[in-house]
Structure formats: C-alpha cells, structure tokens
Structure 1
Amino acid sequence: MSGNEYVKYMTEQFTAYIDTPPEEKKLRKSQHKTEPPVCSSRWLGVLPFAFKLFLKKN
C-alpha cells in the first residue's frame, strides 16, 4: 500500500466517523465496553499474540 493510498483510506475513515451521529458513537462505545476481553490477552498481555504471530511467520 503506497503512501497516497494510505492517506486516502485514512481520510475516508475519518470522514465516515465524523458523519456518524453522536448517538451511534455512544452506542458503539457502550457495546465495546460490555464485550469481555479475550482471556489470553487479558491474562498475559501481548505475549500470546506475539507467539501466535511468530508461529504463523515460520
């Protein structure tokens, strides 16, 4: 992905976020807070994720 494509993507995401109504933003935030975190990342932090990436790379 070139730099120009990245800037275009980020601009699209930003404008989509700005155009959403405040009620929908609050609803998304409250839903995100109620979802339980993944147990492996909650207990051990980034280590399981890094290990998983290492195994996929090899």
Structure 2
Amino acid sequence: MKSNDYVKFMTETFVKYMDQPKDERKKYRQQKKVEKEPFLFRWFGVIPYVFYYGLKTKRKD
C-alpha cells in the first residue's frame, strides 16, 4: 500500500467518523468497550485464561 493510499484511507475514515452524530459515536465507543476481551486474554493469550479458569473451578469444589 502506497503512502498516498494510506493517507486517503485515513482521511476517508476520519471524515466518515466525524460525519456521524455525537450520540451515535458515543454509542459505538460504548459498544466496543463492552465487546472487549478480558485483559489477561488480550495481552497474554489463552494460557493465563486457562489457569484462571482452572483456579476458579477448583475453588468451587
């Protein structure tokens, strides 16, 4: 991708974002925040999540 193509893409994305009403932008940001994966899974992959789940189930027993 050439730099001109990238600048064009970023400009179009920014303009499309700014053309949306303010409340719609807030709703979109809130939706992305809700859909975000847990911190450990996002930063370190599946392994910490497996350990956490194992400890969680072990405590219940």
TM-score (norm 1): 0.61
C-alpha RMSD over aligned residues: 1.8
Larger Rg: 2
Aligned equivalent of 1:28: 28
Runs of 4+ that moved beyond 3 A: none
| Ranges in structure 2 where 5+ consecutive residues have no aligned partner | 46-61
2:40 aligns with 43
From the two aligned structures, give the one with the greater helix fraction: 2
**Aligned-pair CA distance for 1:8:** 0.6
User: Identity over aligned residues, as a percent?
Assistant: 39
> Number of matched residues?
44
TM-score for both structures, normalised by structure 2:
0.59
